[in-house]
């Protein structure tokens, strides 16, 4: 890894809380459907509906809400009442209006990185929702570029590197998902830092052989990023 020109950050669950909102809403959804099925089956069917709908709705709260409604209709055999549908819509609106609070140490890490490197956000999800969260977070001033994409894979990252004329060897990605923020970058020859969040959506889970040496760094929290950069060859 040579000297960095650009550091990119994932947004949800890297810069601020996100998955916890989905977990709280899914708990409400499960409680509403318990008269029809047991909790494990409700969770299973909701996840199957989400996966089936990803290609149509993409990632984000709106697609999640439509999948909840579809699953509720399916599991109740269309007997679900309008009051339940309204409860799901209200829960979705609460998610969309929820405060966006940066995670601990985020501002300190960004203060360190700003001025030393160009910074970018690369996040996936609904355009309107992601733009709103970035604005409400108060962190937008740190970033030279903001990219909201429909998916995160090697092809998407390759296109972004080409767009900004970046050499992968001078590019570092920071994120909480091995599947979306780490492994695709390693495939391209870029660097990656994994900062696990305390809960991860099932779709983002990947199996990694713990016996193998890892060509990426893992940090307990983002506040350790400046020390990692100082100790590495990225400043040379």
> pTM for this one?
0.87
Q: Provide the 3-class DSSP secondary structure of residue 171.
A: strand
Q: What count of other Cβ atoms lies within 10 Å of the Cβ of residue 135?
A: 11
Per-residue confidence (pLDDT) for residue 211, from 0 to 100: 40
Per-residue confidence (pLDDT) for residue 34, from 0 to 100: 95
Query: From CA 110, how far away is CA 222, in angstroms rounded?
Result: 9
CATH 3.40.50.1000 corresponds to the domain 6-16+102-235: yes
> What CATH architecture applies to the domain 19-97?
Orthogonal Bundle (1.10)
Task: List pLDDT tens digits, range 170-181.
Answer: 999 999 999 999
Q: What count of other Cβ atoms lies within 10 Å of the Cβ of residue 23?
A: 10
Per-residue confidence (pLDDT) for residue 209, from 0 to 100: 58
In contact, 170 and 5? CB cutoff 8 Å: yes
42-51, 126-135, 206-215: least confident range = 206-215
Average pLDDT of span 187-207 = 77
For the chain, the domains span 6-16+102-235, 19-97
Query: From CA 215, how far away is CA 119, in angstroms rounded?
Result: 22
Q: Which helix (H) or strand (E) holds 184?
A: helix 183-188
Of the candidates 2, 8, 16, 45, the one whose C-alpha atom is nearest the C-alpha of residue 139 is 16
Q: Provide the 3-class DSSP secondary structure of residue 192.
A: strand
Of the candidates 117, 167, 176, 165, the one whose C-alpha atom is nearest the C-alpha of residue 142 is 117
122, β-bridge pairs? 147
């Amino acid at each position: 890894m040579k000297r960095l020109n650009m550091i990119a950050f994932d947004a949800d669950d890297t810069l601020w809380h996100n998955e916890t909102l989905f977990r709280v809403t899914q708990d409400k959804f499960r409680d509403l459907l318990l008269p029809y099925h047991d909790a494990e089956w409700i969770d299973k069917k909701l996840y199957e509906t989400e996966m089936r709908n990803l290609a149509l709705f993409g990632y984000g709260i709106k697609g999640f809400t439509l999948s909840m409604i579809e699953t509720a209709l399916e599991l109740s055999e269309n007997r679900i009442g309008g009051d339940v549908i309204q409860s799901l819509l209200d829960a979705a609106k609460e998610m969309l209006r929820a405060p966006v609070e940066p995670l601990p140490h985020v501002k300190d890490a960004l203060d360190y990185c700003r001025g030393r490197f160009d910074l970018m956000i690369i996040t996936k999800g609904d355009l309107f929702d992601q733009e709103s969260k970035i604005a409400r977070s108060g962190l937008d001033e740190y970033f030279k570029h903001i990219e909201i994409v429909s998916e995160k894979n090697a092809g998407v990252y390759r296109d972004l590197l080409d767009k900004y004329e970046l050499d992968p060897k001078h590019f570092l990605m920071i994120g909480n998902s091995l599947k979306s923020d780490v492994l695709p970058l390693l495939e391209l020859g870029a660097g990656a830092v994994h900062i696990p969040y305390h809960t991860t959506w099932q779709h983002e889970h990947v199996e990694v052989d713990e016996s193998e040496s890892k060509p990426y760094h893992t940090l307990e929290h983002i506040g350790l990023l400046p020390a990692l950069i100082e100790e590495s060859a990225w400043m040379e």
